[in-house]
Amino acid sequence: MGAGGPFKNIPPNDSSAIRAQNCKAVDRLLYENNGLTKNEISQRLSLSMPTVAGILQEMEEDGILEYYQEKDVATGRPPLKYLLSSKTHVCVAVLIRDDYFKTLICDVHGRSLFSASFSLPYENNGEYWEEVCSLISKSMDSCELELKKSIGVNVILSCQVDPIEHLIIDRQHGEKFSYFNINQMETMLGAPVYLNNFYESAAFELGSTVAPQGNCIYLHISDVIQSVCMAGGRIFRTWENELGTLGHITLVPLGKKCRCGKFGCAQAYCSTDVFKEVFGEDIAGFLEDRSNTPQKQMFWHEYIFLLSILISNQYNIFKMPVYIGGELAKYLSGEDIELLNTMVCNATGSPYCLYLAGDSEELAIYGAIKILLHNFK
């Protein structure tokens, strides 16, 4: 990885910046691994043993490091293994929405210590992320907590993200990648920063709490349709590589044109935007007088029927329970769910397999905490 560890963009004569980045690299490595020796840290980060020893000593003095000695070693004295302290660390989730963002701070047991919502319209620029960092820091200060003692800050967005390269794929705002800069955020916050997707975080929360054996499909239906599968503790998308692909599979062959340019997409028939397109009102307005309008009743039955086909296709592939979230979940009645379940059961021969997911934002932000804790523990 070269001199100075994995951060090759730091000027070679800037020793303080090199040390700060190396400290950050050790912290991130220990976060992602449950116990490493000095030698393992040195080899993985291409750092000298004295450098690693100095960083670990500093972390121990700050009260954010623990160590233990493995037993049952065949020969010789077993080396010490280092890990981040579970006694002092907290974790932070930041849920980014179009007009605001939410912050949730929890201890290592997942118990909420602080939560707040901040009015801040999302903008694809550096000033926006600086303001987010400032408000996160103020939230930590109000709780008398130190960001440097946090497991990390998990930032969640509803657009597609690359959690490995830490990139936001922000096509909705006209750019492939946003101005999100993880290194700058980590410098401003003094803590590791991670990036995850809204829908995947919601699926992780479902899979780690209510879903049987941790297996489920989270089907998010709002103005867009997203689907995420949780299986064996691992998140993966059910259709190809990109979020949103499920909404653009063909549901009605040679059907009406979707905004993507194709014909018959699930998005054109099952998103909540269809009510505005056909009746000029949102789903809440549509459902207010549905029972008094034969045309609306017929449209609703057709909508439920097409939705049951979409859900049946998902179930047939993965044989997992399906949890419906998003805007649609707020308006589906118990009777609607029973009808959908009957249709899906008849189509797939499955037992009862359809449920409401609950509040999607709450699922996503607690799921982001669970992702941090899952890696930490």
pLDDT at 281: 93
Instruction: Give 322's strand partners.
Output: 217, 354
CA max distance for the chain = 82
pLDDT at 176: 52
Asked whether the beta carbons of 167 and 126 are under 8 A apart, the reply is no
Residue 30 placed within a domain: yes
Are 221 and 196 members of one domain?
A: no
Among 158, 178, 201, which residue terminates a domain? 201
Same structural domain, 220 and 260 = yes
152 plus 176 within the same structural domain: yes
Under 8 Å between Cβ of 257 and 265: no
The answer to whether residues 243 and 352 belong to one domain is yes
Same structural domain, 145 and 174:
yes
Beta carbons within 8 Å of 333's beta carbon, 6+ residues apart? none
- Which H/E stretch holds residue 237? strand 234-237
Sign, CA torsion 237/238/240/246: negative
Residue 367 lies in a domain: no
Question: Do 196 and 238 reside in the same domain of the chain?
Answer: no
Tell me if residue 33 falls in helix, strand or coil: coil
Is residue 369 within 8 Å of 110, Cβ to Cβ?
yes
| Domains contained in the chain, number | 3
Note whether residue 60 is domain-resident.
yes
Q: Are 203 and 218 in contact (CB under 8 A)?
A: yes
Domain co-membership, 358 together with 243: yes
pLDDT of residue 21: 80
Q: Residues near 119 by Cβ (< 8 Å), separated by ≥ 6?
A: 99, 100
User: Is residue 374 situated within a structural domain?
Assistant: no
Read off the pTM. Answer: 0.77
The pLDDT of residue 161: 75
Same domain? 178 vs 298:
no
- The Cα–Cα gap between 189 and 300 comes to 49
CATH of the domain at 101: 3.30.420.40
Same-domain pairing of 167 and 97 = yes
Residue 8: the pLDDT is 45
Last-in-domain residue among 201, 231, 260:
201
Rg (CA), the chain: 24
What does the pLDDT read at residue 147? 80
Do 342 and 290 belong together in one domain? Answer: yes
Question: Is residue 370 domain-resident?
Answer: no
Kindly state whether residues 65 and 109 are assigned to the same domain.
Answer: no
Does residue 132 form part of some domain?
yes
> What integer pLDDT is reported at residue 291 of this predicted model?
81
Is 150 inside a domain boundary?
A: yes
Q: Identify the CATH number of the domain in which residue 33 sits.
A: 1.10.10.10
Same domain flag for 216 and 349: yes
Instruction: State the residue range of the domain holding 28.
Output: 15-84
Identify the CA nearest to 248 among candidates 279, 282, 224: 224
Q: Which of 151, 173, 201 is the last residue of a domain?
A: 201
Domain contains 306: yes
Mean pLDDT per 10-residue interval, the chain, length 377 residues:
42 68 82 84 92 90 82 72 77 94 88 93 88 94 81 87 71 56 85 89 91 87 90 65 69 90 93 94 90 91 96 90 94 92 93 90 95 78
